[in-house]
Amino acid sequence: MAKLEILEFPDPRLRKVAEPVAEVTDDHRTLIEDMFETMYEAPGVGLAATQINVHERIVVIDVSEDQSEPLVLINPEVEVLDPEIHKYDEGCLSVPGFYEKVERPRKIRLKALDRNGEAYALEAEGLLAVCIQHEIDHLDGKLFVDYISPLKRNRIRSKLEKAHRQRA
């Protein structure tokens, strides 16, 4: 397994829309294992392939406290089950160190393929629903900072650009 580099905002590659996976292969399964290792080490609760510069519709999630509930989403689709909107404090491995309130539907239904290419569906609410929606946004070239005011977004951009220059 290998720890992968996570792209950081405002990297333009984070805006690329991911392509559907035509067939789940052993290469995809290896990528998924590497994504889990990277996510757990970061540490985070979700990682989309877009964040590691792989533009295929693949997401890994684990919202458990002990990393015991790994969830793989290949070609995920979401249906809103409860239109009631809740505000959640969101952060992102691609926007390190920043957290902002984001409004999202409270309850959703997910349809996806697992690591073996088998279709499944589940209903989610709370943190899992937020995480699923957040990661699918990545596949569509969106970031949580797109939901906040331009002033806050530009402040975050400036601070991260400064940090990137200092590391270079």
Q: Classify 25 as helix, strand or coil.
A: coil
Asked whether residue 131 is marked as a ligand-binding residue, the answer is no
Q: Beta-carbon neighbour count of residue 134 at 10 Å? A: 24
Beta strands per DSSP E along the chain: 46-48, 58-61, 71-92, 95-113, 119-125
Residue 135 falls in the annotated catalytic set: yes
Judge contact between 34 and 47, C-beta under 8 A: no
Residues in the chain, total: 168
The whole-angstrom separation of Cα 128 and Cα 74 is 16
Asked whether residue 86 is marked as a ligand-binding residue, the answer is no
Exposed / middle / buried, residue 144 (Cβ in 10 Å: 0-12, 13-18, 19+): buried
Asked whether residue 28 is marked as a ligand-binding residue, the answer is no
Q: Which of 69, 125, 135, 161 is catalytic?
A: 135
How is residue 90 written in tokens?
Answer: 């969101």
Binding site for Fe cation, by residue number, is: 92, 134, 138
Active site amino acids: 135
Binding site, by residue number, is: 92, 134, 138
